[in-house]
Amino acid sequence: MDFLYYLFVVLGFFAVVLFLEGVFLTWNAYKGPEKTRIAKRLQAISAGGSRGQGATLAKQRLLAQTPELQKLLLSIPRIHLLDRLLLQSGLNLSVAAFLGITLILTAFGVVVAIFLALPTILLIIFAIAAGALPLIYILSAKSKRMTAIENQLPDALDLMGRAMRAGHAFPSALRMVGNEMSEPIASEFRTVFEEINYGISTQEALTNLGRRVPSTDLSYFVIAVLIQHETGGNLSELLGNISTIIRERLKLMGTIRVLSAEGKLSAWILTLLPFVLGVTLQTVNPGFLNVLWTDPMGIKMTITALCMMVLGIFAMSRIIKIRV
């Protein structure tokens, strides 16, 4: 009896150990550091829009976890543009997850509109507005990330210029930016270095960088380096000049943002105030605004007001948007 008891304990111990090891190996195969690094690498190549040596790897990028959903998403035209947008935002979100969140919020908007007893037109508008929230959030995250890269770019170019004056080659200077600078610019330059290191041409790697980071300042750097590779010249001095130009441009843009901040705040308040007030009145007194969509004159007034609001929003956007 004692022998069977101890044998059972030993076998149970080994069973638990093997089970835990199996769970760990399964997790490491799908969510481990190496798997995550490869997935990010393939996503960067995919978002770069590779058409040459990196195209084979780009085709292996997964848009979803299941093969069936992956096949369905790949059948959607220009789905990789959405994948590139998600990468540019810097969020750890796949295309399938983004579409799923969008559908859930759209359904939630429909439920809320039904609960508020809104008419069909407002129900559709409410559902579209709720479904657009993830896209608005992604675009906002992309804008913040692009702004951060533009602010880091002058320091990165200065670092590359000093490294090249010290005798380093151009790929080594890229690697120094990837190792020494902070995110998000470090990962972008590290991706360029890895592409060049693995055999992709410098022109294609820099072109992919320009696709992943749609920034005017970064395009100056890409175009200047590509021209220098064709014609020759002092690249370190060229990078220093570009860094100075970008710093002066960012300083001017900062001044413009300060001067236009009041106009932007007024535009947001004037745009959102009618909708917030309408939802509040409909919640407090559900029948108070029914005349706007039940009476023919109310419908005409609503359409006229919406058209005038669109024109006002367009006019305010043109006033506060100053191109540099």
Show the tokens assigned to 243.
Answer: 């860094």
Query: 165 in a domain, yes or no?
Result: yes
Residue 170 domain boundaries: 150-252
The predicted pLDDT at position 322 comes to 72
pLDDT in tens, 165-213: 888 888 888 889 888 888 888 888 888 888 888 888 888 888 888 888 8
The predicted pLDDT at position 279 comes to 83
Q: Is the pLDDT of residue 49 over 70?
A: no
Task: Give residue 48's pLDDT band: very low, low, confident or very high (50, 70, 90).
Answer: very low
Q: Is the pLDDT of residue 79 over 80?
A: no
Lowest mean pLDDT among 25-29, 72-76, 103-107, 218-222: 25-29
Q: Is the pLDDT of residue 254 over 70?
A: yes
Q: Which residues contact 257 (CB under 8 A, 6 or more apart)?
A: none
Q: Where among 223, 252, 281 does a domain terminate?
A: 252
Q: Cα torsion for 265, 266, 268, 269, to the nearest 10°?
A: 120
Nearest to 211 by CA among 44, 94, 38: 44
Query: 93 in a domain, yes or no?
Result: no
Lowest mean pLDDT among 11-15, 49-53, 91-95: 49-53
* 184 upstream amide cis, omega within 30 of 0: yes
Average pLDDT over residues 130-137: 89
32 DSSP 8-state letter: S
Q: Which residues contact 98 (CB under 8 A, 6 or more apart)?
A: 82, 86, 134, 138
The predicted pLDDT at position 11 comes to 62
Q: Is the pLDDT of residue 69 over 60?
A: yes
Q: Is the pLDDT of residue 240 over 50?
A: yes
Q: Is the pLDDT of residue 144 over 80?
A: yes
pLDDT in tens, 4-43: 655 566 666 666 666 666 666 666 665 656 556 555 555 5
Residue 305 Cα distances to 127, 277, 324, angstroms: 21, 14, 33
Q: Is the pLDDT of residue 103 over 80?
A: yes
- B/e letters for 187-202, b = 16+ CB within 10 Å, e = fewer, are bbbbbbbbbbeeebeb
CATH code of the domain covering residue 214: 1.20.81
Query: 206 in a domain, yes or no?
Result: yes
The predicted pLDDT at position 314 comes to 86
Query: 17 in a domain, yes or no?
Result: yes
Model's pTM, two decimal places? 0.64
Percent of the chain with pLDDT strictly greater than 90 = 1
Q: Where among 202, 230, 252 does a domain terminate?
A: 252
Quick one: CA dihedral 47, 53, 59, 65, positive or negative? Answer: negative
The predicted pLDDT at position 56 comes to 43
The predicted pLDDT at position 96 comes to 79
The predicted pLDDT at position 120 comes to 78
Nearest to 46 by CA among 208, 187, 215: 208
The predicted pLDDT at position 201 comes to 84
Average pLDDT over residues 310-320: 83
Q: Where among 227, 252, 277 does a domain terminate?
A: 252
Question: Residues 255, 257, 259, CA angle at the centre, nearest 5°?
Answer: 70
Percent of the chain with pLDDT strictly greater than 70 = 76
Average pLDDT over residues 123-152: 88
The predicted pLDDT at position 42 comes to 52
Query: 223 in a domain, yes or no?
Result: yes
Query: 72 in a domain, yes or no?
Result: no
Contact 122, 293 (CB under 8 A): yes
The predicted pLDDT at position 7 comes to 58
Say which residue, 241 or 7, is predicted with more confidence.
241
Residue 104 Cα distances to 98, 122, 127, 138, 266, angstroms: 10, 18, 10, 16, 32
Total domain count, the chain: 2
